[in-house]
Structure 1
């Protein structure tokens, strides 16, 4: 069996399967709502004097200081998009996706996994990792740095040479300005310190490097204020945002996102391969336990689990293969059967995507599409509603859907929005609660319409919000398009 696993034919076969899976899994990109926020911030940063410490995009009450933990992502994304086009952002996504895969593979090899098993380790969590790299957003940096962190920590742990740890302060400095996910990197370093302590191996270097890493996080436009905001953001519940739901809540609400069965399949596999071979490697056990808990708690964290599995589990599979036991044969058979099933699932998902003309027309596009043209699970945007407002020369305070706010910010720079996906970075808790009461038709929804100076509304045409405005004598339906409706307040219309 070991000879079969190590054969060149097996290595090439698995490599081709892995390459195909990731190429197909990454080919369809989502126009994520946050992307438009990056563009709007980047435009403001590069064209306006001074750093934008206060929000310029909303007419609602906002926080005194806008702490935008993804600010550097916007600074990088905007000139790429404006100067080269959306293809530049897609190229960036592909580069970081494959660098992440390479680092996970390199960590597995460094831990002693055979080449074919290290490649299999990339195959099983392929969908989990691809869900993180589907949209072009700041997380493309976070997942790369997470894989780099695991690789560097494994390098130090196995060699017992700790100079590479000094790469972490500059990495954390860059990471904390690109995305708040740098906290995952600090947490993994701390887990390695605890794991090496439990394994009775040198642990102090990992703990000591945390001090300069924490100091590096203070080098940002907001200084000390960054951390109070970040702690609040990490701990705050976001029940209205789907990707922040737990696996169980999403299942109970009927969500059929691919990441749910993905996770349910990956978690027992992780347990199966880590219980015995990793019992003397507490660092890996703690990291796998942490990322599993993260994935259970919030679906957006499933890619962390996929990366950690790819980096840490193949050496465990290698352990089973080398035992030459019946148990190893059963596990190998189960792994091959699972690979076949996942390959079929991959092919079905990709085939479904290619049924949409715009995917074949320009697979490198990041196109905002109306409801009639989106893929299953893809975000639909009020494209013709925005076009209507432009055509009529209407600009002012626009009451928007939560997911559309950043798109409206970017598409209609002469207008301001009521709420958008920047959420806690901009809006006080009270304003957020009032908005979601309106969005879900809860008590106080009517008060939200009269309390604030809304002049227009761009809403989903079959939503609770549209129904509320349609029933109000103060609002006029000005346009109904592909999945969206434009309402105008009577007073605003009369004053034009």
Structure 2
């Protein structure tokens, strides 16, 4: 084992080792700077708990008081991994896992670059820009789509190796698809990638049938999941459905994002300019026809497809960043190869990036990000210490956290599992309620709650505060707890303001599959 380790160091070389250490420290610094855990993590932990502690995949919801259907959990495997890390290594391990997954993406991309170019794959500045472009998408530990982003990059590496003659690697892909299909519904991006290679190689006038056969085999193994063939119908529906009420599924230039995601937009513009200039220079040297004949169609199909995904859905920006890193790195350094840059340039870049990482470590304690301004921590604690039982209505983003903390005493209206569990009408119904649209009372008439946890920023907060039917019994900085007026006349215990208490008890739950 020791000789293997030393062999890997020699293989990478001194520059490669420094590159990977610097890159990992940068990623770890940003991962530890996260302000809160992802809102859907709690449902994933419950799903993982069901498998590890309960011995079975959860196929029916038990957390909600509203109508539900079969729990089509296309992320159940991620939940098992997350809960395994939490159970055996503690909460900090989830932050480390986030860093490792992010590092895995960039490490694999560097191996793709090494395959594709004779130039040094360790120019860290390009990686830095790609990482910064999507940091807003990757910086809340830990989300299931990280597995899709990692496996998407791994598939590019495998398929690039296949293009260079390693055809036996195609046998690995169906087995990876089985794993991918059971950790995240983004497995369709893997199938799409294989199809892109088939089409690209067809246009390149190179062997393409092997990709089609691999794609067919990979599609068949989608049947290997806890629900069987019926899950395939759900997967197709989930990947084609519109999500107009989920902000991260909105377009990059939608009204909400027009002045957001600036770093990614600059990165995207830079990539487009690099490729435009590169294509123009090649056409100028030869001709349009000759450029087209020599152009790698696979590369451009992947770049255009992932650019379309990025423009359509902010959630999918990392696919374009990954594709750009793998396929544009070489073009960028070809364009600047004749620039006379000072010899100390590389050292200065590494010093700056290491300095940024160390500065982040120094100003941010490595501790559990409680997310006091993101989660209704005190409001949930208020309900717990006062033993308030019953059905809770909240915005769906907080539902799984409320379940994790308050089940079995309380059931929820809904949570972020959305199409996995709930009917289509639930989110529009909830939106009408929070925005106090004309039919806003339907939500509480159809599915009456006993308790409400509401954000102060929404119109419903002021509307209920002014009503006679509901009374605000606890008001925090960002949220409030409402009870029916007839039950709100007693004196209530108040939650503590101690931040460390909330950090230390963040992962404490009443859910127990062992009893």
Same fold (TM over 0.5): yes
How far is the alpha carbon of 1:118 from its aligned partner?
5.6
Question: Do structure 1's residue 386 and structure 2's residue 380 form an aligned pair?
Answer: yes
Q: Aligned pair in 2 of structure 1 residues 312, 256: CA closer, same or farther (>3 Å)?
A: closer
* Correspondence 1:57 to 2:52: no
Q: Calculate the aligned-residue CA RMSD, in Å.
A: 3.3
Task: Write the distance in 2 (CA, Å) between the matches of 1:462 and 1:309.
Answer: 38
Aligned residue in 1 for 2:459: 464
Tell me if the contact between 2:15 and 2:122 (Cα under 8 Å) persists in the aligned partners: no
Q: Does 1:285 align with 2:291?
A: no
Q: Structure 1: 5+ residue runs without aligned partners?
A: 1-7, 322-327, 372-379
Could you tell me which residue of structure 1 aligns to residue 175 of structure 2? 170
1:79 positional shift: 2.9
Contact 2:114 2:121 in 1 (8 A): no
1:183 aligns with 2:178: no
> Number of residue pairs matched?
463
TM-score by length of 2: 0.81
Residues 143-194 of structure 1, C-alpha deviations (whole Å, 9 max, x = no match): 11111000001001122x4110111001000001000111111101100000
Gaps of 5+ in 2: 1-12, 283-290, 491-515
Question: In the TM superposition, what is the alpha-carbon distance from 1:134 to its structure 2 partner?
Answer: 1.6
Match of 1:451 among 438, 446, 450: 446
- Counterpart contact for 2:22–2:354, Cα < 8 Å: no
Residue 120 of structure 1 and its aligned partner are, at CA, apart by 4.5
- Corresponding residue for residue 145 of structure 1: 151
Give 1:79-478 correspondences, 5 Å limit. 79-116=84-121, 119-135=124-140, 136-159=142-165, 161-250=166-255, 254-255=259-260, 258-273=263-278, 276=282, 280-320=295-335, 329=338, 359-360=364-365, 362-363=366-367, 365=368, 367-371=369-373, 380-414=374-408, 415-478=410-473
User: Residue 22 of structure 1: CA displacement?
Assistant: 3.5
Assess if the C-alpha contact under 8 Å between 2:44 and 2:78 holds in 1.
Answer: yes
Deviation at 1:315, TM superposition (A): 2.7
Against the structure 1 CA distance between its residues 257 and 32, is the aligned structure 2 distance closer, same or farther, given a 3 Å change threshold? farther
SS at match of 1:487: strand
Cα displacement (A) at 1:443: 2.9
- In structure 1, distance between residues paired with 2:270 and 2:177: 32
Q: Following the alignment from structure 1 to structure 2, what is the Cα–Cα distance between the partners of residues 43 and 14? A: 38
Q: Deviations over 1:247-296 (max 9, x none)?
A: 11055665466544444444434544567489521111111111111111
Alpha-carbon distance in 1 for matches of 2:432, 2:361: 35
1:106-125 alpha-carbon deviations (Å, 9 max, x no partner): 11110124115664442331
| Equivalent position SS for 2:68 | coil
Cα distance in 1 between the residues matched to 2:393 and 2:413? 5
Query: Which stretch of structure 1 is more off in the superposition, 201-210 or 460-469?
Result: 460-469
Question: Relative to structure 2, which stretch is displaced further, 268-277 or 76-85?
Answer: 268-277
Q: Residue 463 of structure 2: SS of its match in structure 1?
A: helix
1:45 maps to which of 36, 48, 51: 51
Give the deviation of 1:490 after TM superposition. Answer: 3.6
Cα 1:436/1:18, change in 2 over 3 Å? same
Where 1:125 maps in the other structure, the secondary structure is helix
